[in-house]
Structure 1
Amino acid sequence: MKKRKNLGKNSIILILAVVIIFIAYLGSPLSKVRNVTVEGVNDLGAQQVIDATDINNNSLLVNVMIDHQTIANKTMKKLPSIETVSFKTHNLRDIVIKVKEFKTLGLIYKNGYYYRVINGGHIINQKMHSPIGNYPIYSGFNDKKSLKKISKIYKKLPDNVRTNVSQFYNSPTKLNPYRVKIDMNDGNKVVADIRTVQAKMKYYPGIAAQMKQKGVINLEIGAYSYPFKAKK
């Protein structure tokens, strides 16, 4: 009986000691986040992600880890181009934010702002004042179906062609309602048919290399090029 009482007394003392140590820990600088780093960002800036989480040097590490899902949901709401976000600790005082962004397939300009276009022609509702990265701008693709189609085409272009694309224009005519125009970063312009442009753009580097001056490469029917008209 005496042993049982002593055991109970020792357990209470141990629990009280743990509580006191934990309270002391929470009141010490050791309980607060020291450094925050971000992994996996592509189009977003690391500081942009940190600001969205509201984690700073005054944040308690234990609170961050307990409320990690709430913080993650809040971060993705503020930055909808983030697909997933998670947190891990490092050195018992540092936080690493791991981010996975939706793959950007281009940008669309609406009402004074640029927006990211991702898989399926989805537009991320996150305003940008200026274009980011080396992504094409889609003009005239005003419905989701056409935007999905052109962004899918862009995604499947050869690497050396895809990085050279500056802007896609939906440019239908009475003779060809499927016509598109493409501005290239090297200064040339392409006229093509949206139904065949993906297959034909692989010939672009070879045709462009044979051109003596910048001009238009027409891929609607066949493939030929001609220089820009000289301005008078």
Structure 2
Amino acid sequence: MDKGKVVSLEDRIPKLKEQRRKKANRRLIFLLLLFFLIIVCVIYFQSPLSHVKNIEITGNHLYTYEDLEKMSGINSNTNIWTIKKDKLAEKLKDTGGIKSAKISMAIPNTVHIDVKEYRKIAYFEVKNKFIPLLENGDMLHDRAMTNSPYDAPIIKDMKSEDERVITKIGEELSNLSAEVYNAISEIRYTPKNTDKWHVTIYMNDGNQVLASLSSFSDKMKHYPSIIAQLNTDKKGVIDLEVGSYFKAFESEGEKEE
């Protein structure tokens, strides 16, 4: 054996001791860091640092920030780690106006709530109040307003007990194009013996439309082309129940009627 490659035991012992010392030091540092991290976590979980300080809410239009904050039940005493995201989402959906909700957390103390609301499709007029009607047929009684709204059609001459009719109106309005939907001013429930779904529609252009909710959205999608074909400045009644025909108002008195 080549004597140049032989390492004596005396030479190896200091190197082994140094390696063991470094290894022990690394292990000690790791344990100290782990211990320190555990202490920090315990302090964080047990202190007000883990209480909710910020609530970020996005996607809301029907409800205000304050409304949703109150609905969530979260306050400055709520520990962020006690919040059950699925249960909170279901709780918000139970309010009636929320279609879905996503909850997320941001360390150390921020909760983000992203909601998707049902579309407000009309206002239900009852006793000089205007109650928002959603696309799913729900009415938000707690959001009623006294001033006449202008951002959605108004439903008149209908009782709140007519739930099937109200739901049907919401469904049919949801299926309209923006052009036709924005052209509607009022919807009046005018049932007949031959058609319990009969409605009279008052348009923003001054015309009236007679239709049945059973085919309302299918017939109303042709309204712009019908108006274009009339080629007259006169206003009148457009009957869409069977086929479609136009009858001009003979007098202001007939128009009012």
- Which residue of structure 1 lines up, in the alignment, with residue 239 of structure 2? 218
Q: CA offset at residue 228 of structure 1?
A: 6.9
In structure 2, stretches of 5+ residues that fail to align are 1-26
Instruction: Supply the AA of the counterpart residue of 2:155.
Output: Y
Instruction: Supply the AA of the counterpart residue of 1:230.
Output: E
Q: 1:89-100 alignment to 2 at 5 Å?
A: 89-90=105-106, 92-100=108-116
2-structure distance, mates of 1:100, 1:22: 34
- Which residue of structure 1 lines up, in the alignment, with residue 172 of structure 2? 153
Q: CA offset at residue 166 of structure 1?
A: 2.8
What is the percentage of aligned positions where both structures have the same residue?
Answer: 25
Pair 1:55–1:220, CA change in 2 (3 A): same
Counterpart check, 1:170 vs 2:181: no
Q: CA offset at residue 161 of structure 1?
A: 0.6
Pair 1:223–1:33, CA change in 2 (3 A): same
2-structure distance, mates of 1:116, 1:227: 31
Q: CA offset at residue 87 of structure 1?
A: 1.7
Q: 1:72-221 alignment to 2 at 5 Å?
A: 72-77=89-94, 79-90=95-106, 92-110=108-126, 112=129, 114-119=131-136, 121=137, 123-124=138-139, 126-130=141-145, 134-139=151-156, 140=158, 142-174=161-193, 178-209=197-228, 210-221=231-242
Pair 1:135–1:18, CA change in 2 (3 A): same
Which of structures 1 and 2 has the bigger CA Rg? 2
Pair 1:195–1:67, CA change in 2 (3 A): closer
- Which residue of structure 2 lines up, in the alignment, with residue 3 of structure 1? none
Pair 1:228–1:134, CA change in 2 (3 A): farther
TM-score, normalised relative to structure 2: 0.64
2-structure distance, mates of 1:124, 1:135: 14
2-structure distance, mates of 1:115, 1:40: 18
